[in-house]
Structure 1
Amino acid sequence: MKLHKTYISIFCMIILSLLMSSCDSFLEEKPQDEKTAGQFWKTEADAQSAVNALYFGGVPYLNNTDVDGGWTPKATMWGGVMSGLFVDKRKDRTFTNASEGCNFNIESFNSTALKLWHEFYKGISRANFVIANIPTMTGVLSDTQIRNFTAQGKFFRAYGYFYLVKEFGDVPYVDQPYTSLEGIYKEPSSAEQVYKNIEADLLSIIEGDALPNKAFYDNGCYVTKAMAQTLLAQVYLQWAGAPLNGGNDYYTKAANMAMDVINGGQHILEQASGSSDSIYSAFNVIKTTKTSKEIIFAKEYNQTQYNVGNSYACRSIGADAFQWNVFSPGGDVLYNAYLPCDMLINSYLVADIRSHEKQFFFWEYTGVDKNNVVVTKRLNNIGNWAWFDETSLKTGKDGDYNMPTFRYAEVLLIAAEGLARTGKEGDAAGGARFYLNQVRTRAGIPNETATGDALIQSILTERFHEFPLEFKIWDDIRRTRLYPEEDGMNSGKLKWVALESAKIQNKPDGSIRVGAIPAYALLWPIPLSEMQANPSLQGHQNPGWN
């Protein structure tokens, strides 16, 4: 566990003065022991706290980042809101209203883009300090510690750049810590070169023994070999598709890397031989426990012990639940900032456990109200059970549940897609349907027998059905340039249609608009303040953003 106070003053000081407009306090705490740059990197505690800081800034902090303040979707949700497949029901913020209105202009999206840009580079900066300074601590750390800590820095640098390149395309690549203003203005590197740098970082730590071959929770929630392999499998899958269109070579690399995780033997599907649809189902075990070997990486929270809580609970249900006389949420607000569209809910097979009550979603709540009376209530709109936390909502505090980031189910589906796209469709080990059907079996639905494009569409549908609240859909739309449309009530299927001609959901709320998402909106605009501050960025705005 890393949920304890750490020294980050050096990071905040340098990032604040050189790269960022602000420095978010680590874990919402103010360190009582602050060190200057000259005092840091002297003890094992310094090294450990610098490594710990990697897990709570940068990409992991997207789970805590919002824009315009207050009751808004978290940064993790922004892609799903832009897609129209999920709806922010509050509708009182510029970004979400512009997304529904298809007003894809830089004025509406600039402040949101700036939040992403700063958070990614903040995490990268922290990683660069670790990578540069840990190897100098030979008299303080063992060789094993140096290799492991450096590997964790490389993982998070790769993680940060993977998100940057997905979201913005060509970006400046910085691989050394800034200790002065000299050389801070860098021109963008091509997206392909950034991907190559990410690949090099990850391959360098996957090879050898710098990272343990353990499950995430067995390793104290620090970086493992499977985490690095899973990230690289995701990188290859994205690289294979648009806009780089790496094709079959990278689909093969994605499948092979996913199968390396599978063959590593540290992770499993929770209740892999099948699951009930009760409160003790696989999906509820994944939600409520911190032991599941399905989890390859999760964003950690622990409100009870460390006052570092998960704030998704208030976003799990609509404001109507506030009238039940049951909940006292933080800020006295309940709002569903990420309501799934009806098309998604209606596309699951009736037998699919994931669509059943209190698995991923829910309609009814039974509990004790503030008058100590047992009540049963029904929501006006479906709620997100994967985020629902009764204790949090009743106490007005954030919750303790971790947020899954990489799951073994995704590894199986990456293997399935990479193999299917390269003609290896079989039902035995090494074939696409073999890995796909493990996920389907756990969900309680029949094995897939399709071939060709129908098999690929089935895999894409399975990704959407398996990870509706884990923020994968925008990446899938972006890399495939396909958008899901309905294909029959409770059919278990979706039609994946070319984005430019697809029927886009909720443009605005409750309406369908064909071709409502322009291709240029799949990349964020470079923030205007960054372009003004960095002369090397001028003239490099992503096309389409006026």
Structure 2
Amino acid sequence: MKIKYSIFVAAALALSSLSSCEKFLDRPMLTKADDDNAWTTEENVRLYANKYYTDFFVGYGKGFDNGDALLAGYTFSDDLLFQGNQSQFTRAVPVSQIWSYSNIRSINIMIDRVQNRMSSVLSEEAFNHWMGIGRFFRAFRYSQLVQSYGDVPYYDRPVDIDETDELYKKRTPRNEVMDHVYDDLSFALENVRLNDGVQNVNRYVVAGFVSRLAMNEGSWQRYYYKNNERAKKFFELALRAAEMVIASGKYDIVTDYRSQFTSENLAGNKDMILYRQYDDAVDVKHTILSLHNLAENITYGPTTDLVKSYICIDGKVWQNSDLAPASDFTLDSLVKTRDSRFEATFHTDPSIRNRASYLYITKFLPREVQNRVASGGAPGVPYSGANNTTDAPVLRYAEVLLNWIETKAELATLGGVAVSQADIDRSINKIRLRPLAAEAIAKGVKMTAPMKLGELPQDAERDVQVSSLIWEIRRERRMEMTFEHSRLADLKRWSKLQYMDTQQNPDLLSGGWVNFLKELPADLKTGVSVVKLNGQIEVFNAADPDSPAKMNGFYRYVENADRLPFLNQANVNPYLSPVGRNQIAEYEAKGYVLDQTQGWPQN
């Protein structure tokens, strides 16, 4: 399914235009005539709702606007390190920061107008569908807000500019907000059309996102808020939604891994529940490949921690794999001994173009471009500047399968039915059986052995607070969704931000394995160091004739600095974002109180 781009901008729907209001709500500039005349046909409602597609389904972004895009927008997690100083968590209340309600305002207008002005215009089925679409997007946005801020003001109707008490209302408790979200998602699951045309959101798209949003909230309740009753409520919704997608038979795992991210046309691809289409003919292009085309210099790259997390093709972790070279982390060995997603995600030679890690991310780069640049050629115009036209996955069937199996495993810990081998085969093993690219096979890549419930890997690095099953499900998610949308969000919902503490985990400060004397002798210079498998750091010393031979290990830039402490710090809560001092002061000046986010100083 591709995202529709014909965003309606005619004056009849000018009410969708929003003026910026940083303080509280972005309020629309309405004229009574436009508002009165707009809500007369189903097509008008459809055109109004189309604006939310690019708001919520970002894909690779558009042009140079890629802040929330795949790869570019998700460079803060334990998967990535920077050369030098690491990205930091917020450690102090900012001067100015608060939530944006522009989409909430706009969506509430849509829901209000459909409900109050179109009951006689639309059939009952169409009325319920568009109410479902509106409530789905509203729930989506509130889910994003509570994951960022916890308690947030809840509005289920458009608020007028003179309703001061409403505009400055107190934050609504998170559970109350999410109960409304639960109701909205449930309604959408029952009422959005099963098929509304190939370019439009349907019930299966809704269900796929519900499997993500409800699972996220279930995890927050389970691990952060320690509320098992509420966790179960949302996990059960997530499971029901995922099962709806799976049972439809409309989707499958049929495409090799990298082709899902590098295709010029994802139309008809059964791995895609939703994707964003790019087309030079209508000037809808992006820049993700231009920033990561193997020719551009990048100052962030994969961590050693991520590299070590990939499962071996015998289904075991590298420390106890039966494969003879499993402890050999040279890229040539990793390609042959690790899950096929490793080869599909990274360039297979150390690259000086990635100064942070020497391991270049090529998951989103077409193989023919990778090969051309590696051979000394140029990427070409379509892979430079704002000229990229590869389609972007927005919601993949593989994610829904992973949401489903994780949710089942979580419910089993809350009194639900235990996960069976059939469940593993239906989800994780189905993903592992996806086709391999011919180019990958030529390099010696093989499929990973199926996961066996009775023979789960014995990982010495497993977090002891997590069962072996859930640990392996999380590993599978990490391999499958690397550099997409979820890693930091996953760590937060599992209440595991300690994984990003560089002092606890020094593997976050080194990258890929490089044998400098053999592979990159010209790059042996001051600033280079490597980390051996035993953790020993070897720093290059030009005055030592034996030093070049010692430069064989995980590359670490010598000036890489630890991430500043962010856990167990007074008045610092890295899980939730604070609101700014200016906003708190402005509430006070108006005679109202804006409470600070949980875990941050209240004055």
Give the TM-score, by structure 1 length: 0.72
> Deviation of residue 378 (structure 1)?
7.6
In structure 1, list runs of 5 or more residues that go unmatched: 24-33, 92-96, 322-333, 366-376, 486-496
| Structure 2 CA distance for partners of 1:105 and 1:260, relative to 1, 3 Å | same
The superposition leaves residues 446-480 of structure 1 with CA deviations (integer Å, 9 ceiling, x where unpaired) of 12224681111111011110001212111211111
Partner of 2:103: 123
Partner of 1:221: 199
Partner of 2:182: 199
Is 1:518 matched with 2:567?
yes
Partner of 1:51: 49
Distance in 2 separating the partners of 1:355 and 1:534 = 50
Distance in 2 separating the partners of 1:192 and 1:138 = 31
Partner of 2:472: 458
Is 1:446 matched with 2:436?
no
Partner of 2:251: 267
Tell me if the contact between 1:286 and 1:292 (Cα under 8 Å) persists in the aligned partners.
no
Distance in 2 separating the partners of 1:507 and 1:537 = 46
Name the SS of the counterpart of 1:213 in structure 2: coil
Q: Find the structure with the greater CA-based Rg.
A: 2
> Deviation of residue 537 (structure 1)?
5.4
Name the SS of the counterpart of 1:505 in structure 2: helix
> Deviation of residue 246 (structure 1)?
4.0
Partner of 1:371: none
| Structure 2 CA distance for partners of 1:202 and 1:338, relative to 1, 3 Å | farther
Distance in 1 separating the partners of 2:131 and 2:381 = 37
Partner of 2:396: 407
Tell me if the contact between 1:413 and 1:463 (Cα under 8 Å) persists in the aligned partners.
yes
The correspondence for 2:365, drawn from 375, 384, 388, is: 388
Is 1:147 matched with 2:149?
no
Higher mean C-alpha displacement, 197-206 vs 254-263:
254-263
Equivalent residues in 2 for 1:284-299 (5 A)?
Answer: 288-298=265-275
Distance in 2 separating the partners of 1:244 and 1:168 = 14
The superposition leaves residues 165-190 of structure 1 with CA deviations (integer Å, 9 ceiling, x where unpaired) of 11111111111123433122221111
Is 1:347 matched with 2:309?
yes
Is 1:40 matched with 2:38?
yes
The superposition leaves residues 344-400 of structure 1 with CA deviations (integer Å, 9 ceiling, x where unpaired) of 1343233422111xx3333579xxxxxxxxxxx984443433433756654633433
The correspondence for 1:477, drawn from 486, 491, 495, is: 491
Distance in 1 separating the partners of 2:212 and 2:503 = 25
Partner of 1:86: 80
The superposition leaves residues 276-328 of structure 1 with CA deviations (integer Å, 9 ceiling, x where unpaired) of x7xxx654576752322222233x2434133232232233247xx2xxxxxxx
Amino acid corresponding to residue 185 of structure 2 in structure 1: L
Tell me if the contact between 2:210 and 2:238 (Cα under 8 Å) persists in the aligned partners.
yes
Is 1:361 matched with 2:346?
yes
Amino acid corresponding to residue 271 of structure 2 in structure 1: E
> Deviation of residue 163 (structure 1)?
0.8
Distance in 2 separating the partners of 1:253 and 1:150 = 19
The superposition leaves residues 21-50 of structure 1 with CA deviations (integer Å, 9 ceiling, x where unpaired) of 799xxxxxxxxxx98444433455532221
Distance in 2 separating the partners of 1:360 and 1:147 = 42
Equivalent residues in 2 for 1:467-506 (5 A)?
Answer: 467-482=481-496, 505-506=508-509
Is 1:436 matched with 2:416?
no
Tell me if the contact between 1:232 and 1:257 (Cα under 8 Å) persists in the aligned partners.
yes
Distance in 1 separating the partners of 2:264 and 2:47 = 28
| Structure 2 CA distance for partners of 1:77 and 1:188, relative to 1, 3 Å | farther
Distance in 2 separating the partners of 1:364 and 1:20 = 50
Tell me if the contact between 2:502 and 2:508 (Cα under 8 Å) persists in the aligned partners.
no
Amino acid corresponding to residue 544 of structure 1 in structure 2: W
The superposition leaves residues 514-544 of structure 1 with CA deviations (integer Å, 9 ceiling, x where unpaired) of 8944271121222444434445552333423
| Structure 2 CA distance for partners of 1:343 and 1:162, relative to 1, 3 Å | same
| Structure 2 CA distance for partners of 1:196 and 1:5, relative to 1, 3 Å | closer
Distance in 2 separating the partners of 1:297 and 1:484 = 33
Higher mean C-alpha displacement, 14-23 vs 244-253:
14-23
The correspondence for 2:167, drawn from 178, 184, 187, is: 184
The correspondence for 2:209, drawn from 231, 234, 248, is: 231
The correspondence for 1:531, drawn from 584, 587, 599, is: 584
| Structure 2 CA distance for partners of 1:315 and 1:465, relative to 1, 3 Å | same
Partner of 2:597: 541
Name the SS of the counterpart of 2:451 in structure 1: coil
Partner of 2:5: 3
Name the SS of the counterpart of 2:155 in structure 1: coil
**RMSD, aligned α-carbons:** 4.0
| Structure 2 CA distance for partners of 1:142 and 1:360, relative to 1, 3 Å | farther
Distance in 1 separating the partners of 2:382 and 2:119 = 48
Name the SS of the counterpart of 2:433 in structure 1: helix
Tell me if the contact between 2:79 and 2:303 (Cα under 8 Å) persists in the aligned partners.
yes
> Deviation of residue 336 (structure 1)?
4.0
| Structure 2 CA distance for partners of 1:233 and 1:395, relative to 1, 3 Å | closer
Partner of 1:164: 145
Distance in 2 separating the partners of 1:74 and 1:257 = 25
| Structure 2 CA distance for partners of 1:54 and 1:534, relative to 1, 3 Å | farther
The superposition leaves residues 384-429 of structure 1 with CA deviations (integer Å, 9 ceiling, x where unpaired) of 3343375665463343333323211111112212222316555444
Distance in 2 separating the partners of 1:44 and 1:257 = 27
Distance in 1 separating the partners of 2:299 and 2:206 = 31
> Deviation of residue 204 (structure 1)?
0.8
Name the SS of the counterpart of 1:382 in structure 2: coil
> Deviation of residue 10 (structure 1)?
1.6
Amino acid corresponding to residue 437 of structure 1 in structure 2: N
Distance in 2 separating the partners of 1:84 and 1:455 = 21
Partner of 2:441: none
Tell me if the contact between 1:237 and 1:418 (Cα under 8 Å) persists in the aligned partners.
yes
Amino acid corresponding to residue 108 of structure 2 in structure 1: N
The superposition leaves residues 206-258 of structure 1 with CA deviations (integer Å, 9 ceiling, x where unpaired) of 12xx32335xxx94232221222222222332223232334362444433432
Partner of 1:310: 286
> Deviation of residue 54 (structure 1)?
1.6
Distance in 1 separating the partners of 2:144 and 2:62 = 15
Name the SS of the counterpart of 2:273 in structure 1: strand
Tell me if the contact between 2:261 and 2:391 (Cα under 8 Å) persists in the aligned partners.
no
Partner of 2:57: 60
Amino acid corresponding to residue 127 of structure 2 in structure 1: I
Amino acid corresponding to residue 310 of structure 1 in structure 2: H
Tell me if the contact between 1:482 and 1:498 (Cα under 8 Å) persists in the aligned partners.
no
Amino acid corresponding to residue 16 of structure 2 in structure 1: F
Amino acid corresponding to residue 9 of structure 1 in structure 2: A
Equivalent residues in 2 for 1:71-110 (5 A)?
Answer: 74=68, 80-87=74-81, 100=87, 104-107=91-94
Distance in 1 separating the partners of 2:27 and 2:197 = 32
The correspondence for 2:242, drawn from 228, 253, 258, is: 258
